[in-house]
Structure 1
Amino acid sequence: MIPSLPSRGKQLLESPFIWLKEKAEMDRKRTGVPSNMWYVQGKIYDLSKFLKEHPGGENFLKLTQGQDITEMYYAHHLNLDKCQAILNKYYVREADRVQQYFNFDQNGFYRTLHRRVGDYFKVRDKGPSLSMKLTVISVLFAFCLTFGLTCLYQSFWWALLCGYTLFVCFGIAHNFMHQGPKQPLRYMSDLLFFSHYHWVITHCISHHHYPNSNIDFEMTSMEPFYITTKSRLPNNRFLPYYINIVFGFISTLQFISTIIQIIKGEEQLRKEYLIPVIEYIIIYSFCLDGALAFKLFMAIQCFASFLSLKYPLIIHRNNFNYSDGSTIQPSNDYGIYVIQTTTDHDLWIQFPLNMFLFQSFNHHILHHMFPTVDESRIPEIHHILEQTLKDFNLQHILKKYSFLELYKSHNELILEKS
């Protein structure tokens, strides 16, 4: 079991950089990795001279300096032969201790699947398809249209519809956030109160590589408001009554937290933090009523926040998946662990329709294992996953559900622990 970090239960209103600091301290104790270097599968590397040459941008490496980045290394790089040749140039020494979160055995399930997926994309594009590009245009148009109609008619119905299109915008942003810091579409998440700069830490680094664990920021940060990896919490008997309201305001709470950190001098003001403020000013310029403008603006933000949090939790937190304290024995193989903590559903709903309905998360298992593969390409490699499971006699762990089954299981989990 992965140990908890000290800030657990206080993370919702704290800077995600505290999580990074605590994770680095824990990795230093586990592996002996120096604060200015990086640990990858038993070896210490000094990548400081490689930062500007890194194809994925220097931000990911800067944020994870002094940490074990083994999971990130494998999940984000499909051509391991090329990457390993580069990595070898920056080798420093063997690690003091080898204590990895997961096993990446050469002949294990995940590494085998990784090789096959890597071979598949050697001759194919893993980036955005034409369908994805057209979807981006459609979603942005839908958001601008509904936002404009909200301003024009000052209607809460239009505001809610705009909130839904913002939920889809966030799904698009999520897809491109994983494809590097040079992707301008990552800024679509800043239309919502969720800063893409923070989500690189809380989602791309934390949640993606340690789902449902004690260091999954997206799970532990909502304690004590939501049942996560602890078996019971003092106020959980009221959970079914207030949790959806909490989901609606979490993005607002994180935005307020960011403002407080800027005032304290703990974080610098970034230009994208002003995007939601500009949205409010635009609404106000139409209705010239500060209170009404604020209500319309918050209707958009809260509905998008609710959808963006409620749905992902349903596919991770249910009675079918592993989390700390459950009866399921977690695997040390990274790929099997991802399957144990993540659930696909309704696979017959393909891109682009699933982007509008589910942010493409109904094909979520392979996205967790290979986040740099564009969401529109994920269905192409599902047959590789099924064949690899068959070769390892693991077909039984890949369960297929409908959204309604997952929703029911999620509610049962909440009610039985509330």
Structure 2
Amino acid sequence: METKENVRNNNSKRKSGMISSLGIKYPTHRDHPLHSSDIWLAGKRADEGAEGLWRIHDELYDLTDFIKIHPGGSEWIRSTKGTDITEAFETHHIRGVAENFLPKYFERKAKSVRNYPFTFHENGFYRTLKKRIRTEVDKVPRKYVIRSEIIADSLFVSYVLSAWLATYTSSFILGLISGIFLSYTSIAAHNFFHQRDNFRMYYFDFTMMSSREWRISHAMSHHLYTNTINDMEISALEPWMHYLPFRKNLYIKYVGWIFSPVFFTLTFYVQWTRTLVSNILIKGSVPITTFIPFSVLIVLNLGTNQNFFNCLLMFLWIIGCASLHFMVVGVNAGHHHPELFHDGDATRPKEEMDFGIFQIDAVADRTEITGSALLVITHFGDHALHHLFPTIDHGKLKFLYPVFKKTCEEFGIEWRCESQFEMIKGQYLQLRRDVNTNPPKKLKTVVANN
């Protein structure tokens, strides 16, 4: 018997025409107005047959005793209880150590089939590439990780100093520059919230967005279910921007073109408000990290001769500029182009539904960004490799291209690298396009030669 929630979801699905071409169930709570990470996780618990445990492939594990000792941080495990973590487990553990611990926590086989079609066959593309990457990544000197840390720290200091100077001089031009520094700081911080708990991931919270929220909406949703109906970074933009190629009337096709500048400018404020309300309604408490961005406002008020109103005005101006810049960089970073796969398009055959192949079908890199350490960490660069191995520091990714390209060639996978202008143009074209009925190019092989 259908619950009221299921009826509501099915009605929404019928109205929008959103039926996943990948066979993914229309996510419970996808149309919830708050659209928070906790609500998304609640939907996963309802949809994925994990039976209150942690599902990896077709097996259920009780990781309760592992929460506090998880090397990456307890929140990764605690928040995902009752969900399918197959894709997260595969992509977040490169060295093969975690697999050795799993049998200790095994409970039973899952009763239902997985909600997602992606495969991880031992000789398939993803695991073949992962084994090869495993031997290469440790060869990269740590100095390239340190460089990433220095860039992030420098951007953060530049944000605070420029915000102070903008407030002290009442210069909105300097405020704009400060906003750009804040935007770049948050993008650099994105490199760190994919990794084990560390202080640099909290640079992201200075934007008024939440690193904890984004660990879920970005790392666990967007990265794992890229360009699908379960990608929060797509559903969060609706109804203003519709990137999935389901039935679109004239209004839906062009509303994003018209309203995106306003929507982008307000994004940080909206995200903060949503997170605050969600924490109050769902958890009954507000984490201290919610108030991190206002520490800069306090510095501006105490460190300049301006009154509080002027400090607040400049602070909000900086946040708005950062929001606009961040969103412009983000939506043009590598996913939205008519030639990239979006749920609703024709899919590969079942035997080619390897997770890594799916990711490459939905990602493009940019020629101007790839190769520059500064541009990569501040513009979501090396996008394909980052999606495949999100926990590897951005500073190391460029050294993995030889083995990546070799493996792509071996399997016959097309890795796209477009100009930034082409991606910007393609992003607008994606908003108006309909379903692509031509499946991605067929592979040379579905198993490795060795």
Alignment-derived partner of residue 323 in structure 1: 342
SS of the aligned residue for 2:153 comes to helix
Write the distance in 2 (CA, Å) between the matches of 1:415 and 1:160.
31
Instruction: Answer whether contact 1:126 1:373 (CA < 8 A) is retained.
Output: no
Q: How does 1:112-127 map to 2 (within 5 A)?
A: 112-124=128-140
- Cross-structure match for 1:83: 98
Q: Is this contact kept in 1: 2:205–2:211, CA < 8 A? A: yes
Write out per-residue CA displacement over residues 215-253 of structure 1, whole angstroms, 9 at most, x where no aligned residue. Answer: 101111111011122442684233312112101111101
Distance 2:328 2:151 in 1: 23
Alignment counterpart, residue 371 of structure 1, candidates 390, 398, 412: 390
- Shift of the 306–88 alpha-carbon distance from structure 1 to 2, 3 Å rule, reads same
Alignment partners' CA distance in 2, 1:111 and 1:187: 32
- 1:49 Cα deviation from its structure 2 partner: 1.3
Name the counterpart of 2:113: 98
Among candidates 8, 17, 35, match of residue 38 of structure 2: 17
Higher mean alpha-carbon deviation, 362-371 vs 271-280, is at 271-280
State whether residues 342 and 362 of structure 2, in contact with CA within 8 Å, keep that contact through their aligned partners in structure 1.
yes
Which residue of structure 2 lines up, in the alignment, with residue 408 of structure 1? 425
Equivalent-residue separation in structure 2 for 1:264 and 1:45 (angstroms): 30
Kindly tell me: are residues 125 and 206 of structure 1, through their superposed partners in 2, closer, same or farther at Cα, counting changes over 3 Å?
A: farther
Matched, 1:276 2:293: yes
Letter in structure 2 aligned against 1:108: G
Alignment of 1:304 onto 2:322: yes
TM-score, structure 2 length as denominator?
0.84
Amino acid at match of 1:152: Y
Q: CA deviation at 1:291?
A: 4.6
CA distance in 1, matches of 2:267, 2:153: 28
Q: CA deviation at 1:137?
A: 3.1
The corresponding residue for 1:67 is: 83
Which amino acid counterpart does residue 345 of structure 1 have in structure 2? Answer: R
The residue type paired with residue 239 of structure 1 is G
In the aligned structure 1, how far is the partner of 2:297 from the partner of 2:412? Answer: 55
Instruction: Name the structure 2 match of 1:353.
Output: 374
Q: Quick check: 2:210–2:290 contact (8 Å CA) kept in 1?
A: yes
**1:248 alignment partner in structure 2:** 265
**Deviation at residue 325 of structure 1 after TM alignment:** 2.5
Instruction: Tell me the alpha carbon deviations over residues 263-290 of structure 1, each in whole angstroms, 9 at most, x when there is no partner.
Output: 5464422112112223234334536445
CA contact (8 A) 1:154 1:287 kept: no
List per-residue Cα deviations over 1:294-313 (Å, max 9, x = no partner): 33222211221122222222
> Is the contact between residue 360 and residue 375 of structure 1 (CA under 8 Å) also seen in structure 2?
no
Alignment of 1:17-416 (within 5 A): 17-28=38-49, 33-35=50-52, 37-80=53-96, 82-99=97-114, 101=116, 102-124=118-140, 129-181=145-197, 183-229=198-244, 230-232=246-248, 235-236=251-252, 237-264=254-281, 266-285=283-302, 286=304, 288-314=306-332, 315-327=334-346, 329=348, 332-346=353-367, 349-355=370-376, 359-394=378-413, 397-416=414-433
Letter in 1 for 2:111: D
Distance 1:90 1:344 in 2: 39
Q: CA deviation at 1:120?
A: 1.6
Secondary structure of 2:108's aligned partner: strand
CA contact (8 A) 1:147 1:162 kept: yes
Structure 2: 5+ residue runs without aligned partners?
A: 1-21, 435-450
Mapped to 1, the partners of 2:56 and 2:87 lie a distance apart of 8
Once the two structures are superposed, what CA deviation does each residue of 1:67-112 show, in whole Å capped at 9, x if it has no partner? 11110111001112x2211111111222223325211111111111
Change (3 A) 1:56 1:198: same
Q: Distance in 2 between matches of 1:9 and 1:261?
A: 15
C-alpha distance in 2 between matches for 1:69 and 1:416? 32
Q: Any conservation in 1 of the 2:28–2:44 contact (CA below 8 Å)?
A: no
Assess if the C-alpha contact under 8 Å between 2:369 and 2:375 holds in 1: no
By how many angstroms is 1:211 displaced?
A: 0.7
Deviation at 1:352, TM superposition (A): 2.6
Once residues 39 and 127 of structure 1 are traced to their aligned partners in structure 2, the CA distance between those partners, rounded to angstroms, is 37
Cα distance in 1, alignment partners of residues 281 and 129 from structure 2: 47
Q: Amino acid of the residue matched to residue 198 of structure 1?
A: E
Residues matched between the structures, number: 405
AA partner of residue 190 (structure 1)? D
Q: Residues 231, 130 of structure 1: CA spacing in aligned structure 2 closer, same or farther, 3 A cutoff?
A: same
Distance 1:115 1:332, change over 3 A: same
Cα pair 1:231 1:325 within 8 Å, conserved: no
What's the CA shift string for 1:102-159, capped at 9, x where partnerless? Answer: 1111111111101101122355567962322321332123212211211211111111
CA contact (8 A) 2:26 2:229 kept: yes
Paired amino acid for 2:51: P
1:47, CA displacement in angstroms?
Answer: 1.2
2:438 counterpart residue number: none
Please say if residues 347 and 362 of structure 1, whose CA atoms lie closer than 8 Å, have aligned partners that are also in contact. no
d(CA) in 2 for partners of 1:45, 1:365: 30
* Residues 287, 293 of structure 1: 8 Å contact kept: no
Equivalent-residue separation in structure 2 for 1:253 and 1:204 (angstroms): 20
Verify the 8 A CA contact 1:27 1:67 in the aligned structure 2: yes
Give the corresponding residue for 1:3. Answer: 25
Q: How far does the alpha carbon of each residue in 1:187-214 deviate from its partner, in whole angstroms, 9 at most, with x for none?
A: 1011101111111111111111111111
